[in-house]
Amino acid sequence: MTAIAPIITVDDLADHPDAVLADVRWYLDGRDARAAYESGHLPGAVFIDLEVDLSDHTSPADAGRHPFPSPEAFAAAMGSHGIGDDSTVIAYDDTGGMTAGRLVVMLRMLGRNAALLDGGMASWHGELMTGYGANPEHLDFTPCEWPVDRLADAEQTAAIAQSADGLALDARAYERFTGEVTQIDPRPGHIPGAASAPWAATIDPVTKRFRAAAELRSHFVDLGVNEASSVVAYCGSGVSACMNILAMERAELPPARLYVASFSGWSATADREVELGPGR
């Protein structure tokens, strides 16, 4: 169990003066996230590269666009950024948590203290720091195997999506889920039996912050989630799905598993069926 809530506000930062601030910006359109970090970031924040620190690009295509790194590679990356076994990490981005949530979920599933900054950069009203950033002291981060009970592979995801008491929640935009729009993924559509659960629905469109716990619980219950449900979260490449995982935790629902390969991995294998239309 972690000692920090999955989502905290900017006012809560004062309660964690020794926390490592992690800037996890990344852009699907190819913009340079490192350049964005250097142009302005929260004071003292380190830059965590989704492509380098949180992914393993030596994996085959059916592992998706952002496979998890090995436990050893992840531990080395964390240690190099000044994140150790006892560190508290507060991650942010400028897209509502869409990419920073990936780091938070990875750390929390290992039992490390990590939280997402609600509202991200927009919630910060102080001065920003520019430049390359600090060179943190290397800390020891013990490699830990990724917990099998928090992850699902393609076969497990397919079975849960089709089961009466299971749900596979697709965090992509609805038009990608239905197949009306194909963005990056090899084929249009979704995993058969999955339900559309866009990650953006966890954010209040007015405040740009996470919805309250009660609202989130109602949202997921409407999708069919209950205390007995087996839930797998997926998206295009195992990144934005983490928003649904964190939102479910905020709503005090049982933890969802992550299908890391997600639809980019699923649809890369020709003999795996895909479904078009509104789904379940």
How confident is the model over 88-121, as pLDDT tens digits?
Answer: 999 999 999 999 999 999 999 999 999 999 999 9
Would residue 137 count as lying in a domain? no
User: Are residues 119 and 52 part of one domain?
Assistant: yes
> Considering 123, 157, 191, which residue would you say is the last residue of a domain?
123
Supply 49's token pair.
């590269």
Q: How many other C-beta atoms are found inside a 10 Å radius of the C-beta of residue 137?
A: 8
User: Are residues 112 and 30 part of one domain?
Assistant: yes
pLDDT at 193 over 80: yes
Would residue 248 count as lying in a domain? yes
The pLDDT of residue 60? 87
User: Are residues 170 and 76 part of one domain?
Assistant: no
Would residue 134 count as lying in a domain? no
Minimal CA–CA distance to 236: which of 277, 167, 187, 201?
187
* Residue, of 249 and 269, whose pLDDT is higher: 249
The C-alpha atoms of residue 239 and residue 155 are separated, in whole angstroms, by 20
The C-alpha atoms of residue 174 and residue 254 are separated, in whole angstroms, by 24
Give the mean model confidence (pLDDT) for residues 185-200: 94
How high does pLDDT run on average in the chain? 95
Contact, 157 vs 234, CB < 8 A? yes
User: Are residues 193 and 98 part of one domain?
Assistant: no
Would residue 258 count as lying in a domain? yes
- Per the structure, how many domains does the chain have? 2
Name the residue range of residue 217's domain. 148-266
Give the mean model confidence (pLDDT) for residues 180-206: 93
Residues tagged active-site? 235
User: Are residues 204 and 157 part of one domain?
Assistant: yes
Would residue 136 count as lying in a domain? no
Give the mean model confidence (pLDDT) for residues 228-254: 96
Would residue 275 count as lying in a domain? no
The C-alpha atoms of residue 123 and residue 132 are separated, in whole angstroms, by 22
* Phi and psi, residue 63, nearest 5°: -90, -5
Instruction: Give the domain CATH number at 221.
Output: 3.40.250.10
Torsion, Cα of 85, 20, 213, 191 (10° steps): -70
User: How are beta strands 113-117 and 46-47 bridged, if at all?
Assistant: unpaired
User: Are residues 77 and 19 part of one domain?
Assistant: yes
Give the mean model confidence (pLDDT) for residues 232-253: 98
Helix axes 100-109, 241-250, angle to 10 degrees: 60
| CA dihedral sign, ordered 43, 114, 49, 140 | positive
User: Are residues 158 and 101 part of one domain?
Assistant: no
User: Are residues 116 and 47 part of one domain?
Assistant: yes
Would residue 2 count as lying in a domain? no
pLDDT > 70: what percent of the chain?
Answer: 99
pTM: 0.96
Reported confidence tier of residue 166, pLDDT bands at 50, 70, 90: very high
Would residue 278 count as lying in a domain? no
Return left, alpha or beta for 120; rule: phi > 0 is left, psi -120 to 50 is alpha, else beta: left
User: Are residues 160 and 116 part of one domain?
Assistant: no
User: Are residues 260 and 217 part of one domain?
Assistant: yes
User: Are residues 164 and 103 part of one domain?
Assistant: no
* Phi and psi, residue 162, nearest 5°: -95, -10
| CA dihedral sign, ordered 9, 15, 20, 21 | positive
User: Are residues 156 and 117 part of one domain?
Assistant: no
Q: Which residues, in sequence order, are bridge partners of residue 234?
A: 170
